[in-house]
Amino acid sequence: MRNTMPILLLLIVAPFAASCQSTATETASPSANGSGQATDLDSTPSAYLNGKAVTQAELYRVLAPSYGGEALAEILLDRAVKQRLQQERITLRQTDLDAEKQRLLASLDADPDQAARLLREMRTQRGLDEKRFESMLRRNAGLRTMIRDQVTINEAAISQAYTLRYGKRYRVRLIVTDSLDALTRARRQVLNGASFTDLAIDLSTDISASQGGLLSPISPADPTYPKAIRDALPKLTTDTPAKRLSPAIALDQGYALLWLEDIQTPGNAPTLDAARAELEAAVRSDLERVRMRQLARTLIEQTDVVVLDPLLDKAWKRQKGAVQSP
């Protein structure tokens, strides 16, 4: 139900080892007969199993279709960011890289020790050695530096952020169907005493059906939910069963019905003025991420990529399609 934008290429984290990344670039050229075999590496062992060599070519044939597109995109974006920085005569400083690392740590946990532990785990799980980790920080710092002057914060954005963080949240159940008639019948059944939870399990096409349509608490200011859903929330009350139930809601695809479980109001919320500095920082961070994604997409689309190896070509086309998706 949530409308989310994918994180494009700001942090490429496929478990594609550094040695295999170099294989993907250095051996992208197939043999003269067009077989796609990385002939230069056929006899080069990367490991031994019971005394028998596992060659780099064998590893490449397994890894390239799964991770080759992401690895190539990571290398491509590294180079594209570096070139754009040179064109704009921007020099990254160590303080820029340090700031990116601190942003990453802060996003993992508010407790510094816990954040450091989570970062170590993330790097281990995702194959981010020192070189790739520094490249990621440099890539993000470069993108952020290039878009920083494009970000402006207005009062509406701050107000929305305040409502999202400190305003009411609605805990609801959801039914989504392709048919308005089916949804109308379900609504009538609920008004006659039927269980909304049971109907959601039986009828809903949303992923929440398995849990009786129950969603995480929603703020009407949360833009990751469809506007029609958010607009319906403040009209629901717990006064009577009929007022807990929404009318049929038209979505881009299908129709929805909401049932209000309860309304949550955060206690001890600061005033907007007291929270302004915190909110401005959060809004700026969100806007910068959007701009960075847009710039990363543009850099990828503007790059002329010729992939000669058939295995890598398929993976690259798949990855490029994901990058170009909104």
CATH number of the structural domain spanning residue 234: 3.10.50.40
In a domain, residue 254? The reply is: yes
Asked whether residue 184 falls in the same domain as residue 115, the answer is: no
In a domain, 12, yes or no: no
Best CA proximity match to 244, nearest among 231, 257, 253, 228: 257
Confidence (pTM):
0.70
- 101 plus 241 within the same structural domain: no
Judgement on whether residues 177 and 70 belong to the same structural domain of the protein: no
**Domain count of the chain?**
2
Domain assignment present for residue 220? The answer is yes
pLDDT digits (tens, 9 = 90+) for 222-248: 988 999 999 999 999 999 999 999 999
Residue partners of 74: CB distance under 8 A and separation at least 6: 9, 12, 21, 135
Residue that terminates a domain, selected from 264, 296, 314: 264
Integer angstrom CA distances of residue 2 from 92, 154, 229? 36, 25, 10
Handedness of CA 15, 17, 18, 21 (dihedral sign): negative
pLDDT of residue 152: 92
Is 102 within the bounds of a domain? yes
216 and 258 share a domain? yes
Residue that is last in its domain, among 212, 229, 264: 264
pLDDT of residue 31: 41
- The Cα 50–Cα 33 span in angstroms is 33
Q: Please report which confidence band the pLDDT of residue 97 belongs to, taking 50, 70 and 90 as the band edges.
A: very high
**Cα distances (angstroms) measured from residue 249 to each of 70, 156, 179, 209, 257:** 39, 26, 12, 17, 6
Indicate if 244 and 307 belong to the same structural domain: no
Average pLDDT score over residue span 90-115: 94
Q: Are residues 195 and 289 in the same domain?
A: no
Q: Which residue is it, tokens 């031994």?
A: 48
Domain final residue pick, 264, 284, 312: 264
- The whole domain housing 198 covers 168-264
What is the per-residue pLDDT for 13?
A: 32
Q: Does residue 217 form part of some domain?
A: yes
Q: Specify if 13 maps to a domain.
A: no
Q: Quick: pLDDT tens for 20-70.
A: 333 333 333 444 344 444 445 577 888 999 999 989 888 888 889 988 999
Q: Over range 115-130, report the average pLDDT.
A: 93
Predicted local confidence at residue 10, as pLDDT? 41
Same domain membership, residue 144 and residue 287: yes
- Whether residues 133 and 249 share a domain: the answer is no
pLDDT at residue number 326: 60
Q: Do both 175 and 146 map to the same domain? A: no
282 and 216 within one domain: no
> Of 123, 136, 80, 107, which Cα lies nearest the Cα of 281?
107
pLDDT tens for each residue of 155-196: 999 999 999 999 999 999 999 999 999 999 999 999 999 999
Q: Are 213 and 196 in contact (CB under 8 A)?
A: yes
Residue 4 within any structural domain of the chain: no
Domain membership flag for residue 201: yes
Same domain as 145, residue 27: yes
Q: What is the pLDDT of residues 274-300, one digit of tens each?
A: 999 999 999 999 999 999 999 999 999
Residue 14 pLDDT level (bands cut at 50, 70, 90)? very low
Give the mean pLDDT of 318-323: 83
